[in-house]
């Protein structure tokens, strides 16, 4: 074999870092944030690591489990530390704003959050922290336990919608078009409210929804 032709043999090419679960997750996350969810395939991760797809299965059971790891890795940046003097409601809103920001900034992460059961340290930290502040606000055990689910779900889906909206070939536009040329006599409410149905681009709708859920949790205490 001719070493001059085969420039990329083991001796001449740069040393390849050994595989590990950690390096696989980080590579997957990088691909996800650069190219969205379709950029993170087992084959593309393997190629980015200069190996074959089979190699990944030494460290990861399957694509779904890897997705869960990547989601949790993405959530490491959610800011949980609050000044002790912050009112419990504002603390919750700040945490959820940070969660929202992380999901919107990394394309594909919002979709993962909506379809992959969270599983890992960072998601656990977020849950623990939210439970603490709900407890501080006087919300019952069951209210807190079931309430964090609604809160995180609401924020995940808002961010998923936001990331979809910023893509082109937008299926949301079809929906908007359908609602805009609706027969007002058959759909009076939709006709009347169509401007409201798709409004709330900025923080307004986000904050409103969280307020609704928190108000609901508080009110349910006394009944």
Partner DNA sequence: ACCTGAACACCGTTCAAGT
- Note the residues at the interface with DNA (CB under 7 A): 16, 18-19, 41-44, 50-55, 57-59, 62-64
Nearest approach, Cβ of residue 99 and DNA (Å): 26
Q: Reduce the secondary structure of 87-148 to three states and give it as a string.
A: CHHHHHHHHHHHHHHHHHHCCCHHHHHHHCCCCCHHHHHHHHHHHHHHHHCCCCHHHHHHHH
Contact flag: residue 189 with a copy of itself (CB under 8 A): yes
Q: DSSP string covering 16-42, please?
A: PPPP-HHHHHHHHHHHHHHH-GGG--H
Calpha distance 218→223 (Å, rounded): 10
86 binds, among DNA, a copy of itself, none (CB under 5 to 8 A by kind): none
111 binds, among DNA, a copy of itself, none (CB under 5 to 8 A by kind): a copy of itself
Contact flag: residue 86 with a copy of itself (CB under 8 A): no
Q: Select from 76, 77, 94 the least CA-distant residue to 85.
A: 94
Nearest approach, Cβ of residue 156 and DNA (Å): 22
Q: Which is nearer to a copy of itself, 3 or 166 (CB)?
A: 166
Nearest approach, Cβ of residue 205 and DNA (Å): 30
Task: Looking at 137-202, list the stretches that DSSP marks H as alpha helix, in order from N- to C-terminal side.
Answer: 141-165, 171-180, 188-197
Q: Select from 206, 175, 205, 170 the least CA-distant residue to 190.
A: 175
Nearest approach, Cβ of residue 178 and DNA (Å): 20
**Which residues within the stretch 6-65 sit at the binding site for a copy of itself (CB under 8 A)?**
64-65
Residue 125-144 contact track with a copy of itself, rule CB under 8 A, x = bound: --xx--xx--x-----xx-x
116 binds, among DNA, a copy of itself, none (CB under 5 to 8 A by kind): a copy of itself
**Which residues within the stretch 159-178 sit at the binding site for a copy of itself (CB under 8 A)?**
160, 164, 171-172, 174-175, 178
The dihedral region occupied by 28, where left means phi > 0, alpha psi between -120 and 50, and beta the remainder, is alpha
Q: Select from 80, 64, 60 the least CA-distant residue to 123.
A: 80
Look at the alpha carbons of 175, 178, 180, 182 in this order and tell me if their dihedral is positive or negative. Answer: negative
Calpha distance 6→27 (Å, rounded): 27
Contact flag: residue 116 with a copy of itself (CB under 8 A): yes
Q: By the criterion CB under 8 A, which residues form the site for a copy of itself?
A: 64-65, 68, 111, 114-120, 124, 127-128, 131-132, 135, 141-142, 144-147, 150, 153-154, 157, 160, 164, 171-172, 174-175, 178-179, 182, 187-190, 192-193, 196-197, 199-200, 205, 208-209, 211-220
């Amino acid at each position: 074999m001719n070493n001059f032709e085969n420039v990329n043999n083991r001796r001449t090419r740069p040393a390849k870092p050994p595989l590990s679960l950690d390096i696989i997750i980080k590579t997957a996350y990088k691909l996800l944030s650069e190219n969205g969810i379709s950029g993170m395939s087992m084959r593309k991760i393997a190629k980015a690591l200069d190996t074959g797809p089979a190699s990944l299965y030494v460290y990861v059971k399957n694509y779904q489990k890897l997705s869960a790891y990547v989601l949790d890795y993405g959530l490491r940046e959610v800011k949980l530390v609050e000044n002790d003097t912050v009112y419990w409601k504002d603390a919750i809103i700040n945490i959820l704003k940070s969660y929202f920001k992380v999901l919107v900034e990394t394309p594909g992460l919002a979709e993962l959050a909506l379809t992959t059961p969270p599983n890992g340290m960072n998601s656990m930290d977020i849950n623990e922290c939210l439970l603490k502040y709900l407890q501080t606000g006087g919300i019952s055990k069951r209210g807190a336990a079931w309430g964090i689910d609604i809160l995180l779900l609401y924020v995940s889906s808002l961010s998923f919608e936001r990331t979809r909206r910023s893509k082109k070939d937008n299926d949301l536009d079809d929906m908007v078009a359908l609602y805009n040329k609706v027969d007002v006599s058959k759909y009076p409410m939709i006709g009347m409210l169509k401007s409201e149905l798709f409004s709330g681009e900025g923080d307004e709708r986000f904050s409103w929804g969280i307020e609704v859920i928190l108000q609901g949790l508080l009110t349910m205490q006394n009944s």
